[in-house]
Structure 1
Amino acid sequence: MRFNCIFLCLLVWCCFSCCSGKRADHATCIDSLQYYVNPISATSLGHHVLFHRGVYYGIWGWSSNIYLRATEDITLLKDKELKNVWSSTDSSVGNIDDAELHYIDSKWYVYFTGNDNNLDDRCIYVLENDSPDPMQGTFKLKGRIETDREKSVAMFSTVFQQDGRLYLVWCGWPSRRVYEENQCIYIAEMKNPWTLSSERVLISKPEYEWECQWVGIDGNRTAYPIYVNECPQVFRSLRQDKILIYYAASGRWTPYYCEGMLQADASADLLNSASWKKCPVPVFDQNTSDKLYGPSIVCFIPSPDETEYYYLYNVRKDLEDMFISLDKYEVCMQKVEWDKDGIPVLGCPLRQDTLLRKPSGTRRTTD
């Protein structure tokens, strides 16, 4: 009897100690099936996650391979096994990066950047799979997207549809390498998911000071100035009347890496550069109070019941060796809040011991 009382007291003390600690510890005490804390992954999950018919698909391009993983609970994506769904057998299509998965006209397409070991030859390739499930079937290489006559660098591509027309948005160079590098955002219309039907149109170039930071906090720098607009992601306003393009700005090797935003009326001529207006300040920036730097590569996803929206992003806590360790990012997720015009308000990263409720409709499962 005495032993049971002592055991019970110890058990109560342990629970109290756990639940009275940091909010991150509190999350595990309350209900890990309903709540989460950031980061949802201690390493990068890739550049893109797609939600389709109740499932979140994460994609990762590495070396000569494309990998996929799937989950019904986005906070558990990091725990799912990566499946190799395609491997390049062509030496000119290697160093795969920036992969995205899209579902267009009942087929799956993967857009990724590849090169032949020459960074000046980076270009966009497309894979196609007609299986209902992207984890099944066969992905086949459709080829390279010719983005301009000079075959300038093209990378970080994404696609979207508007009024029955398909568009490609990507990061590219105005011309071949020079002694000052500008990474810009371009748009073009597509004849099909692997072929452009229009000339590329420049819609954003680095121009503000916050887009042109290329010297790291420790003084490390590239051989010459590199001004960056990259990693475009397309989203829409709450009323669907605006097309929004979020993009990462400044050097990834600096703590000043952040998110900018372009917007155009959904009814406008999207191939007219004048249709696109740039926000003059970052829309998602570092949180220096909680030492969260370089928030970027935003990817928007709906909740499982599609009543809410969330955004995934990469962030760094360590300012050491930023120039060398470009991939030392954690992945976090926050709920989208909206302003009076239906434009997302991203702000800055929340502190990482904040207890957050999982997206609406997430199934209570330990799987």
Structure 2
Amino acid sequence: MMRIKYAFLCLLVWCFSSCHSGKYPENVDGTDSLLFYVNPVSTGFLGRHVLFHQGMYYCIQGWMSGIYLRVAEDVTLLKEKEFRNVWTSADPSVGNIDDAELHYIDSKWYVYFTGNDNNLDNRCIYVLENDSPDPLKGTFRLKGRIDTDKENHVAMFSTVFQQDGRLYLVWCGWPSRRIYEETQCIYIAEMENPWTLSSERVLISKPEYEWECQWVGIDGNRTAYPIYVNECPQVFRSLRQDKILLYYAASGRWTPYYCEGMLMADASADLLDSTSWKKCPVPVFSSNTADKLYAPSIVCFIPSPDETEYYYLYKVRKDLEDMFISLEKYEVCMQKVEWDKDGIPILGCPQRQDTLLRKPSGTPRANND
């Protein structure tokens, strides 16, 4: 009965989610226009993760053998800031850096990223630590590789969150080495410290619905073998803080079917019990075909500067050509979080990009000159 009620809730969220377009505010002069922005806020190279900390937005990017940061008080101006290299790998086995996230845990900065030795079957998660109050200062040091399982299966797209004084790692991984197909699943484990797991990994999501298992593009482009995808997990909470919401990207990123799914668990539940997590049976964020905005996903939630509102960043495509070879054509957009009656975000689909949107509450106007 609970599963039926949850499925019904998800269907309601999906049905009432709209691709509404905002209205242009009347009488917007040159001064007032500093309060508004238009999507996209950046190209796809902005990075997939932005962290708000003490009035500043930190955007992180892993590239080649380095980790790069940019910072701004106005999240819509991150694209104008220079990326600064804060760490470079000296170990050739820790290369092809990607999927970086920045977190502040127990008064220290930690960077989680994926690296490999030029063999994609050896992708794994690494952690950097910096004890400086400012992540652009001090020194990031490699704490090492996180051993996510005894067989060292592929692990990538990691994120961390704290609940009731316990620290958890969530990531995308393989259940086993690929042979004729590849399946990317979502796992969770508890952490002894920010670089060491204290429990076995627990599978909480695998591609099972049709909308999670698309791997052939609309133009027929496909990978050499089937790849079924659950990846890029991000953790958020309901408005009343009583639910843990885990968003993830589903289906092949090289297809227009790429979309966002969601798992939900009670905040008081045993998060290492796979039955605590309930999957929404429909996507919670998908294409706006009317405005030709495709494959929206890889969401990242951030508060407004005064922390009275929440927004979500996401990546989206505006064309269906060369999706397999032109992943860099993704753009980064931002929308305000709207909530349903149960305090669950309504994501819907991307708003049309000619819409003038109000900047997050508390955004400093002085920095927009």
| Same-fold call, TM cutoff 0.5 | yes
Which position in structure 2 is the counterpart of 1:45?
Answer: 46
1:235 Cα deviation from its structure 2 partner: 0.2
Looking at structure 2, the residues matched to 69 and 208 of structure 1 have their Cα atoms a distance apart, in angstroms, of: 38
Which position in structure 1 is the counterpart of 2:364?
Answer: 363
Q: 1:262 to 1:141 in 2, by over 3 A?
A: same
TM-score, L = length of structure 1: 0.92
Deviations 1:134-173 (A, max 9, x none): 0111000000000001100000000000000000000000
Which position in structure 1 is the counterpart of 2:354?
Answer: 353
Which position in structure 1 is the counterpart of 2:331?
Answer: 330
| Counterpart contact for 1:214–1:221, Cα < 8 Å | yes
| Counterpart contact for 1:27–1:36, Cα < 8 Å | no
| Counterpart contact for 1:150–1:176, Cα < 8 Å | no
The residue identity in structure 2 corresponding to 1:144 is R
1:27 Cα deviation from its structure 2 partner: 7.0
The residue identity in structure 2 corresponding to 1:279 is C
| Counterpart contact for 1:95–1:116, Cα < 8 Å | yes
Which position in structure 1 is the counterpart of 2:209?
Answer: 208
What are the within-5 Å matches in structure 2 for residues 266-281 of structure 1? 266-281=267-282
Q: 1:209 to 1:27 in 2, by over 3 A?
A: farther
| Counterpart contact for 1:50–1:102, Cα < 8 Å | yes
| Counterpart contact for 1:185–1:203, Cα < 8 Å | yes
Looking at structure 2, the residues matched to 130 and 224 of structure 1 have their Cα atoms a distance apart, in angstroms, of: 44
What are the within-5 Å matches in structure 2 for residues 125-144 of structure 1? 125-144=126-145
- SS of 1:252 mapped into structure 2: coil
In structure 1, stretches of 5+ residues that fail to align are 1-21
- SS of 1:44 mapped into structure 2: helix
Deviating above 4 A after TM superposition, structure 1's stretches of 4 or more consecutive aligned residues are 26-30
Q: 1:23 to 1:307 in 2, by over 3 A?
A: closer
Looking at structure 2, the residues matched to 42 and 70 of structure 1 have their Cα atoms a distance apart, in angstroms, of: 16
Q: 1:149 to 1:27 in 2, by over 3 A?
A: farther
Q: 1:28 to 1:334 in 2, by over 3 A?
A: farther
- SS of 2:115 mapped into structure 1: strand
The residue identity in structure 2 corresponding to 1:361 is G
- SS of 1:75 mapped into structure 2: helix
Looking at structure 1, the residues matched to 219 and 64 of structure 2 have their Cα atoms a distance apart, in angstroms, of: 30
What are the within-5 Å matches in structure 2 for residues 227-238 of structure 1? 227-238=228-239
Which position in structure 2 is the counterpart of 1:250?
Answer: 251
Q: Which moved more, 1:177-186 or 1:244-253?
A: 177-186
1:106 Cα deviation from its structure 2 partner: 0.2
Deviations 1:286-326 (A, max 9, x none): 00000000001000000000000000000000211001112
The residue identity in structure 2 corresponding to 1:135 is L
Which position in structure 1 is the counterpart of 2:87?
Answer: 86
1:42 Cα deviation from its structure 2 partner: 2.8
Deviations 1:39-90 (A, max 9, x none): 0113331110000000000000000000001000000000001110000000
Tell me the matched-pair count. Answer: 345
Q: Percent of counterpart pairs with the same letter?
A: 84
Looking at structure 2, the residues matched to 87 and 27 of structure 1 have their Cα atoms a distance apart, in angstroms, of: 45
1:23 Cα deviation from its structure 2 partner: 5.7
Which position in structure 1 is the counterpart of 2:184?
Answer: 183
Looking at structure 1, the residues matched to 159 and 184 of structure 2 have their Cα atoms a distance apart, in angstroms, of: 16
1:346 Cα deviation from its structure 2 partner: 0.2
Which position in structure 2 is the counterpart of 1:298?
Answer: 299
Looking at structure 2, the residues matched to 155 and 43 of structure 1 have their Cα atoms a distance apart, in angstroms, of: 19
Looking at structure 2, the residues matched to 99 and 336 of structure 1 have their Cα atoms a distance apart, in angstroms, of: 24
Which position in structure 1 is the counterpart of 2:73?
Answer: 72
Which position in structure 1 is the counterpart of 2:223?
Answer: 222
Looking at structure 1, the residues matched to 356 and 112 of structure 2 have their Cα atoms a distance apart, in angstroms, of: 35
Which position in structure 1 is the counterpart of 2:285?
Answer: 284
Q: 1:28 to 1:98 in 2, by over 3 A?
A: farther
The residue identity in structure 1 corresponding to 2:300 is C
1:328 Cα deviation from its structure 2 partner: 1.2
Q: 1:28 to 1:154 in 2, by over 3 A?
A: farther
- SS of 2:78 mapped into structure 1: helix
Q: Higher relative contact order at CA 8 Å, sep ≥6: structure 1 or structure 2? A: 2
**What's the Cα RMSD here?**
1.4
TM-score, L = length of structure 2: 0.92
- SS of 2:260 mapped into structure 1: strand
Looking at structure 2, the residues matched to 273 and 45 of structure 1 have their Cα atoms a distance apart, in angstroms, of: 33
1:327 Cα deviation from its structure 2 partner: 2.1
1:28 Cα deviation from its structure 2 partner: 8.0
Which position in structure 1 is the counterpart of 2:6?
Answer: none
| Counterpart contact for 1:27–1:35, Cα < 8 Å | no
Looking at structure 1, the residues matched to 232 and 48 of structure 2 have their Cα atoms a distance apart, in angstroms, of: 8
| 2:309 maps to 1:312 | no
| Counterpart contact for 1:128–1:141, Cα < 8 Å | yes
| Counterpart contact for 1:283–1:347, Cα < 8 Å | yes
Which position in structure 2 is the counterpart of 1:116?
Answer: 117
| Counterpart contact for 1:186–1:203, Cα < 8 Å | yes
1:178 Cα deviation from its structure 2 partner: 1.8
Which position in structure 2 is the counterpart of 1:261?
Answer: 262
